[in-house]
């Protein structure tokens, strides 16, 4: 899989490629027995992922910061699919308090949990701190998802134990994980305004998504849990995620238009990882265009993954005590 495959859409070993859509990669798959949580499932590739998963019969819980937009997305899907099973719950990933409240609300629904898709994110935003006082891209893209995943793990383990169905966790990362700070993760300067780069901070957060997936996969394998964890680069897609750099991205797209995907193509790899039976037991991998793809040296460093896990765990605990 390389630039030629990306441009041509030529399928890889999985039988799918950059031109494959979310509907195509889930064709004939029955997901009516599955419950899915997707963060940011009300817009962009998150909305398309929600639409296709409900089309395949899954019960999807949209976790969204903007409840009004999420309910509008729900109604949009229901207009074309009367049988779609969708719930909407509020979640602001930049706030650990909001993450706690979301998990409480989800558990109150008394539903199983088969699949968690950590899809939401912010991109290239100007320097700002979250409600908890953490740099916004790291807080939203990584720390919020880290805490959310940990709080939902027992529910997913209970579901796999009672149903025998493999649980799956999908972290949306980006090829931008290669374009981070020189040290990979600047643990001692996460909130440092002077050294802040909106692009490198985004790359750092996307690197963290892969490292999180890899370390969680390792821990679950060691535990013998029937849950897989993988990460994905969805591709270049023009969505609201790029609102902080829209003009620059439009100019960039003019010169790189052959590399860009449609939203249905951008949602394909997430849907593939969530539902395809051919991925049973596959865990701790990075995917692009529905095929395994080599990540950066930082992203495949097990010691860095462990260090990030410990750092994130300690940071969450300290923030919740304060």
CA–CA separation, 309 vs 145, rounded Å? 12
Q: Which ranges of the chain would DSSP assign to H, the alpha helix? A: 3-8, 22-25, 44-55, 67-80, 96-108, 136-137, 144-163, 198-223, 246-255, 263-266, 268-275, 302-321
Q: Which of 115, 223, 109 is nearest to 160 (CA)?
A: 115
Q: Could you tell me what percent of the chain has a pLDDT over 70?
A: 90
Stretch 176-205: mean pLDDT, rounded?
97
Region at 89 (left for phi over 0; alpha for psi -120 to 50; beta for the rest): beta
Domain map (residue ranges) of the chain? 3-321
Q: What is the mean pLDDT of the chain?
A: 92
* Strand partners for 233: 288
Check whether 172 has a pLDDT greater than 70: yes
- pLDDT of residue 67 exceeding 80, the answer is yes
Q: How many CA atoms lie within 13 A of 124 on its CB side?
A: 14
Nearest to 28 by CA among 52, 9, 50: 52
Specify the pLDDT at position 318. Answer: 97
Output the CA torsion sign for 41, 276, 18, 211. positive
Range of lowest pLDDT (201-205, 257-261, 262-266): 257-261
pLDDT of residue 10: 77
Tokens at residue 192, please?
């440092």
Give the residue-averaged pLDDT of 32-42: 98
Cα radius of gyration rounded to whole Å, the chain: 18
Does 255 score more than 80 pLDDT?
Answer: no
Contact between 138 and 201 under an 8 Å Cβ cutoff? The reply is yes
- Please give the structure tokens belonging to residue 41: 């499932």
Q: What is the DSSP letter of 127?
A: S
Distance of alpha carbon 322 from alpha carbon 312, whole angstroms:
15
180 vs 249 pLDDT, higher one: 180
For the cut 90, the answer to whether the pLDDT of residue 3 exceeds it is no
pLDDT value at 249 more than 70: no
113-170 pLDDT, tens per residue? 999 999 999 999 999 999 999 999 999 999 999 999 999 999 999 999 999 999 999 9
Question: Is the pLDDT confidence value at 245 over 90?
Answer: no
DSSP 258-321: GGB--HHHHTHHHHHHHH-GGGTT--S-EEETTEE----TTTT-HHHHHHHHHHHHHHHHHHHH
Predicted confidence band at 238 (pLDDT cuts at 50, 70, 90)?
low
Q: Is the pLDDT of residue 236 over 90?
A: no
Quick: pLDDT tens for 263-275: 999 999 999 999 9
The predicted pLDDT at position 15 comes to 96
pLDDT of 11 > 80? The answer is yes
Q: What is the pLDDT of residue 5?
A: 53
Q: How far apart are CA 296 and CA 294, in angstroms?
A: 7
**2 pLDDT more than 60:** no
CA distances for 225 relative to 12, 67, 256, 282, 283, angstroms: 29, 33, 42, 13, 12
Superfamily of domain 3-321: NAD(P)-binding Rossmann-like Domain (3.40.50.720)
Q: Which residues participate in catalysis according to the annotation?
A: 196
């Amino acid at each position: 899989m390389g630039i030629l495959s990306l441009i041509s859409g030529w399928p890889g070993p999985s039988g799918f490629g950059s031109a494959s859509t979310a509907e195509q990669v889930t064709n004939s798959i029955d997901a009516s027995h599955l419950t899915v949580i997707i963060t940011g499932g009300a817009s962009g590739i998150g909305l398309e992922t929600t639409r296709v998963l409900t089309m395949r019969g899954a019960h999807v819980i949209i976790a969204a910061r903007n409840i009004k937009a999420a309910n509008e997305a729900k109604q949009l899907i229901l207009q074309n699919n009367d049988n779609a099973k969708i719930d909407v719950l509020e979640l602001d990933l930049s706030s650990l308090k909001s993450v706690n409240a979301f998990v409480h609300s989800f558990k109150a629904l008394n539903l199983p949990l088969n699949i968690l898709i950590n899809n939401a994110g912010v991109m290239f935003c100007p320097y700002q701190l979250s409600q908890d006082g953490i740099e916004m891209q790291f807080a939203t893209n990584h720390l919020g998802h880290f805490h959310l995943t940990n709080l939902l793990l027992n529910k997913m383990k209970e579901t796999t134990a009672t149903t025998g169905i493999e649980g799956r966790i999908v972290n949306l990362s980006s090829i931008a994980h290669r374009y981070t700070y020189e040290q990979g993760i600047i643990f001692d300067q996460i909130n440092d305004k002077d050294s802040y780069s909106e692009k490198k901070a985004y790359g750092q957060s996307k690197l963290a998504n892969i490292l999180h997936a890899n370390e969680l996969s390792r821990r679950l394998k060691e535990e013998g849990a029937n849950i897989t964890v993988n990460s994905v680069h969805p591709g270049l897609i023009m969505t609201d995620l790029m609102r902080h750099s829209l003009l620059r991205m439009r100019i960039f797209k003019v010169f790189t238009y052959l590399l860009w995907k449609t939203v249905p193509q951008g949602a394909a790899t997430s849907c593939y990882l969530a539902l395809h039976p051919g991925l049973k037991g596959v865990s701790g991998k990075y995917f692009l265009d529905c095929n395994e793809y080599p990540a950066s040296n930082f992203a495949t460093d097990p010691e860095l993954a462990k260090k990030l896990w410990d750092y994130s765990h300690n940071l969450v605990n300290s923030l919740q005590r304060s």
